[in-house]
C-alpha cells in the first residue's frame, strides 16, 4: 500500500460522505462514487460537512462511474444492505489487485454476501455515526463518528495504516480481534432503536427518555442477544441493556437510517436488522416475537411510503 493511500467510497450516502469527507478534509485523496445527480452536485459545489464541532466545505472528487476504483488502494463499501450483491458484482471487474475493501454497513452478514456475489474478501467493520444527507452535497452529522475494523492477521499492517488515516482525520478508529462480537453489539442496538425511530418518527433521545417504550426495547435486545448466543457469538461480558441506554444519550439528536429511508420513500434495511434476527431465530429455535412485530410493522410502512414515492414520481 502506498504511503498516501488513495480511497474510493462506493455508496456516497450519509455514512460514505461523512467518513470519506473527513478523510478528504485531512488531505487523503478521496473519490466519492454516487448516483449521477449527487456526483454532479458534489463536483460542482464540493461536499459540505455540517458536523457537531465544525462546519465547512470539503473539496473532493465525485463520480458516477464505478470504474474510478481502479486507482484506489482502499474502497469503503458503504451501499445500503439491499444493494450489497449488485454493488459487489459491479465493483469486481474494476478492483485493483491487492486493494482493500472495507464493509461499512449495517447488519452482520454483508461480508459473506459480498464474497458469495463477487469473490471479494472484504474486511468487516462496525460504524457508529449519526448522519444524514440534507441535500445532494451536504451531510449533517449529529453524533459520534467512530469505526472498529477487523484485525485481520494477513493484512494487519495495512489496516493499521488505514486506522491511522482515520485517527488523523478526527475519526476514532480501532482494530478488534473480536469483530463478530462488535458487529452483533451494533446489530442488537440497531434492533432496539431503528424500527422504533422509524415507526414513531422519533429521535434516539426521545426514545431513551420514554418509559413506555423501554420494555419493548428491552425485549428486542434480549431476543437479539439470545439469537447471537445460539449462533455461537457470545456477548456474556457485555451489558447490552446498559449499552442501549448509553447510545440514546450519545446520539440523542439522531434518527435512525430506517426512519430517514421511510421519510424519503426509499426501501429500508430492516430485513437485515430485525428481519435478520427473526429469520435466524426461527432457524435456531429462538422465539423473537418483538423483533418479528417491529419488522412486520416497518415493512408495512415501507410498502406504503415507497408506493407513495413511486406515484409522486409518475404523476
How would residue 302 be classed by pLDDT, with cut points 50, 70 and 90? very high
How would residue 4 be classed by pLDDT, with cut points 50, 70 and 90? confident
Q: Are 280 and 229 in contact (CB under 8 A)?
A: no
Mean pLDDT throughout 110-120?
98
DSSP secondary structure of the chain: --SS--EEEES-SHHHHHHHHHHHHTT--EEEE--HHHHHHHHHH-EEEE-SS-EEEE--EEES-GGGGGG-SEEEE---GGGHHHHHHHHGGGPPTT-EEEE--SSS-HHHHHHHHH---PEEEEEEEEEEEEETTEEEEEEEEEEEEE--GGGHHHHHHHHHHHHHTT--EEEES-HHHHHHHHHHHHHHHHHHHHHHT--HHHHHH-HHHHHHHHHHHHHHHHHHHHTT---TT--HHHHHHHHHHHTTT---HHHHHHHHT---SGGGTHHHHHHHHHHHT---HHHHHHHHHHHHHHHHHHHHHHHHHH-
The architecture (CATH level 2) of 180-307 comes to Orthogonal Bundle (1.10)
* Average of per-residue pLDDT values in the chain: 93
User: How much is the pLDDT for 311?
Assistant: 62
Decide if pLDDT at 1 tops 70. no
Q: Backbone phi, then psi, for 170, in 5-degree steps?
A: 85, 20
C-alpha cell at 260: 430517514
Which ranges in the chain are annotated with CATH 3.40.50.720? 7-177
Which ranges in the chain are annotated with CATH 1.10.1040.10? 180-307
| 47-50 and 55-58 strand pairing | antiparallel
pTM, full prediction = 0.92
User: How much is the pLDDT for 240?
Assistant: 85
How would residue 309 be classed by pLDDT, with cut points 50, 70 and 90? low
User: How much is the pLDDT for 234?
Assistant: 83
- Report pLDDT digits (tens) over 232-262: 998 766 788 888 888 888 888 889 999 999 9
User: How much is the pLDDT for 315?
Assistant: 44
By percentage, how much of the chain surpasses pLDDT 90?
Answer: 85
CATH of domain 7-177: 3.40.50.720
User: How much is the pLDDT for 313?
Assistant: 52
By percentage, how much of the chain surpasses pLDDT 70?
Answer: 96
| 30-33 and 7-10 strand pairing | parallel
User: How much is the pLDDT for 246?
Assistant: 85
Decide if pLDDT at 6 tops 50. yes
Decide if pLDDT at 314 tops 90. no
Amino acid at each position: 500500500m502506498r504511503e498516501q493511500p488513495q480511497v474510493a467510497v462506493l455508496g456516497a450516502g450519509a455514512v460514505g460522505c461523512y467518513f470519506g469527507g473527513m478523510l478528504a478534509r485531512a488531505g487523503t485523496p478521496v473519490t466519492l462514487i454516487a448516483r449521477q445527480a449527487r456526483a454532479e452536485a458534489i463536483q460542482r459545489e464540493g461536499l459540505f460537512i455540517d458536523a457537531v464541532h465544525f462546519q465547512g466545505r470539503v473539496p473532493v472528487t465525485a463520480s458516477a462511474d464505478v470504474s474510478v476504483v481502479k486507482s484506489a488502494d482502499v474502497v469503503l463499501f458503504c451501499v445500503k444492505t439491499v444493494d450489497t450483491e449488485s454493488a459487489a458484482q459491479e465493483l469486481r471487474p474494476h478492483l485493483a489487485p491487492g486493494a482493500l475493501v472495507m464493509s461499512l454497513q449495517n447488519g452482520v452478514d454483508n461480508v459473506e454476501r459480498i464474497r458469495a456475489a463477487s469473490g471479494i474478501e472484504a474486511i468487516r467493520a462496525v460504524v457508529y455515526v449519526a448522519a444524514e444527507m440534507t441535500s445532494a452535497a451536504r451531510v449533517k452529522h449529529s453524533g459520534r463518528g467512530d469505526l472498529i475494523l477487523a484485525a485481520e492477521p494477513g493484512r494487519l499492517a495495512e489496516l493499521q495504516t488505514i486506522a491511522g488515516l482515520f485517527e488523523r482525520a478526527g475519526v476514532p478508529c480501532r482494530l478488534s480481534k473480536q469483530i463478530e462480537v462488535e458487529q452483533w453489539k451494533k446489530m442488537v442496538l440497531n434492533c432496539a432503536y431503528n424500527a422504533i425511530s422509524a415507526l414513531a418518527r422519533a429521535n434516539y433521545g426521545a426514545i431513551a427518555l420514554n418509559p413506555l417504550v423501554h420494555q419493548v426495547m428491552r425485549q428486542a435486545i434480549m431476543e437479539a442477544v439470545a439469537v447471537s448466543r445460539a449462533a455461537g457469538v457470545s456477548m456474556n461480558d457485555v451489558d447490552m441493556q446498559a449499552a442501549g441506554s448509553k447510545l440514546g444519550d450519545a446520539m440523542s439528536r439522531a434518527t435512525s437510517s430506517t426512519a430517514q429511508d421511510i421519510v424519503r420513500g426509499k426501501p429500508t434495511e430492516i430485513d437485515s436488522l430485525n428481519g435478520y434476527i427473526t429469520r435466524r431465530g426461527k432457524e435456531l429455535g429462538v422465539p423473537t416475537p418483538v423483533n418479528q412485530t417491529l419488522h412486520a410493522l416497518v415493512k408495512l410502512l415501507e410498502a406504503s411510503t415507497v408506493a407513495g414515492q413511486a406515484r409522486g414520481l409518475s404523476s
